Structure formats: structure tokens, C-alpha cells
Amino acid sequence: DDEDFLTVCIGEMFLEFVNMLPAFQTYCIHQSTSINMLNTLEKEKELLRIFLDVSQNDNTALRRMNLRSFLMAPLQRVTKYPLLLCRISNSTPEYHPDHCRLREAKSRVESHLEHINMKTKQEGAPPWSLRSFRRDSRRNREVVNIEMREIAIKAVGWPREDTRFPMEGALQSSQPSDGQWAKKGSRSLKFQTLHVLLMVNVGREAEPGQEGMAGEHGWELPPVRDAALVLIRDKSGGKFALFRRPIHLSNCVVSSDPDCDDTFELLDIRKEAFVFRDTDKHRTCHWFRLIKRYSRDLGSWRKRRNALPNIMINATYSRP
């Protein structure tokens, strides 16, 4: 029924699984090496060459394609995604709920391909054919984000397919020496700028009473099993490094003080405290609400006190 295709949301599906695209990265980087190795093996092993020739000519499932063609297939497939998404977007009316997501998905896929190009050059591998996409500041920012997401996923160790990033960006961070910093005000703290990624491990099925919530782009995220903050600092040469081990929000309490409404405090109950703020007050509030929600929901014992670190703090206070 043609009516069924009116509700297909291709862009939404791409955005949900776009963080799986780095799986192509290792393949693309080593693609030329694999071709050279195949050429060498065919020269050294006559039986292999004969087997490949016979398979190509007699095996109908191969459609008379040689092994080199199959080695190119994944690379060709991933580079076609932006063009296909562009065509679908152009054929989708603006009032369709998936129209904006299709454009966002195309941009995200292009950024991943730019990132693969960048990694290929860094590895010193011979260049491989890839359509050159127009670079702009937003695209460059997304390529940097992809690099940091890779660092974050490796640090946390979650399955890539279960990992989502509700929010990410630069935050100013400080580690107060005592718990009385709020009385002195945030001006008494020394801040440094870090790249912060809020990442969640998505649950396959919702637990009783567990609800999803909206991410930075406004799309609802499924219920989560775990959540963590990853702090990354800049290194020389445009590279990045972990600032510290990931902070699991199930071990944290989050609070804010009415007298310091441009900051919020994250207390890792097993280690230390952090004070965060964004240069934009509205984004600071958004960071606070998201992190507080996850820290509260992931620890059942915190529900008794609304995830507040101090029972003397007024639980009825909330940010605008």
C-alpha cells in the first residue's frame, strides 16, 4: 500500500544509527593495503589465483565479479549515502516530519566521511576515491565531535550500537577545594575549558516506570541503562586526550545554588566534585537539567531526596 510509505522516516533511522558509521573507518583506511596484499598473494600462490578465476567465471552468485570488486563494495556503498539522502530529502515535502531529519542525517553522514578522509591521511595510507564535500565551520565542528565521540566510546567501553550522545560541547570546569565555594561565589573559582560529552547506554526495553527524555535536538531518547560524562582536553597538533576517567552519573548527585545560578555542581560520591558552566546561561540550565535527570533516575536510592547532595538545600528550588 502506497499510504504506508508516507510514514517511513529514513532520516530518523539514519540519525539513530549514524554513530555506527565509524565501523567503515578501519575498512576504508586499510582498503588499499588489502588490494596490494591480494595482488601479492595471487602472484605467490597459483592455486589461489586459479580458485579466484574459476569462482569468478563459474559461480553464478558472484555475477562474474572478481574479489577486488567485492572489496570496493562497502566503500562505494557508504559514499553513496549522502546522494541518496539528498534525493529523498528533495522528494519529501517540507511539512513531512522527517524532512528536517533527512537534511541533518545527510550532513552527519558527510561529516563522518570527512572524518574517514582525515584519518586516512593521518595513517599515511594512499588516498582513495571519495567525493569531496563542501567544508564549512559547522561541518568541521562535526568532524571534531566525531573524533571525540570515538575517544569517549573507547573510554567507557559500551557497545557502539547502544550508545547515544544527548548533549556535547565546551564547558568551563573547576574543582573546588572545599564545599563552601558557593558562599564566595563562582568568581572565586579557577575555570578551564573542556570538551564535555554526555553519553547514555540505551536500554533495549524500558523498565517499569522508566521514561525516555528529549536530547539536545529535541528528539526523544529511549530509556537508558547507564549514563556518563566524558571530559576531554585539547592537546597540541589538534589532538585530544581524556582529562580524567569517565564520570558515571549513577554515582553522582547534581545540585545548583540560587546564589550561583550560572553554575551547577556535580559530586562524584566516590571521588571529587566539579563545578560546570557554559558561556551561555540557557545552555548551562539545559546541561543541568539533563545531567540531573540521569543522575536521579539511575540511582534508586536518590529518589528519596531528589538527587540533592545536601538535605539542608531547599528541594523546591528549581532553575527557570
User: At a CB cut-off of 8 Å and minimum separation 6, what does 74 contact?
Assistant: 24, 27
Rounded Cα gap, residues 303 and 288, in angstroms: 17
| pLDDT for 54 | 92
CATH dotted code for 2-122: 1.20.900.10
Q: What is the pLDDT of residue 315?
A: 44
Q: pLDDT for 250-295, tens place per residue? A: 989 888 877 777 889 998 887 788 999 999 989 999 999 999 999 8
pLDDT range class, residue 305, cuts 50, 70, 90: low
228-238 residues labelled b (16+ CB within 10 A) or e (exposed): bbbbbeeeeee
Cell of 57: 567465471
Helix or strand or coil: residue 118?
helix
Place of cell 586459479: 50
The CATH label, of 3.20.20.70, 3.30.300.30, 3.40.50.300, 2.30.29.30, for the domain at 157-304 is 2.30.29.30
Residue 188 has pLDDT above 70, yes or no: yes
Q: What is the pLDDT of residues 6-57, one digit of tens each?
A: 677 899 888 888 878 887 888 888 888 888 899 999 999 999 999 999 998 9
Q: How far apart are CA 175 and CA 200, in angstroms?
A: 24
Span 145-157, pLDDT tens digits: 888 888 999 999 9
Q: Nearest 5 degrees, angle CA 240-CA 250-CA 295?
A: 90
pLDDT of 289 reads 92
- The residue among 32, 231, 254 whose CA lies nearest residue 126 is 32
Pairwise CA distance, residues 21 & 124, whole Å: 21
Q: What Cα–Cα distance (Å) separates residue 58 from each residue in 7, 69, 71, 94?
A: 43, 16, 19, 50
Question: Which amino acid, one-letter code, is at 88?
Answer: I
pTM higher than 0.85, yes or no? no
Q: Where are the domains of the chain?
A: 2-122, 157-304
CA distance 17 to 105: 10
Kindly indicate the confidence band of residue 249, based on its pLDDT and cuts at 50, 70 and 90. Answer: very high
Using a pLDDT cut of 70, give the percent of the chain over it: 76
- Strand, coil or helix: what is 98? coil
Query: In the prediction, which pLDDT does 207 show?
Result: 46
**Cell numbers representing residue 65 in the block:** 565479479
Let me know if the fold of 2-122 is the same as that of 157-304. no
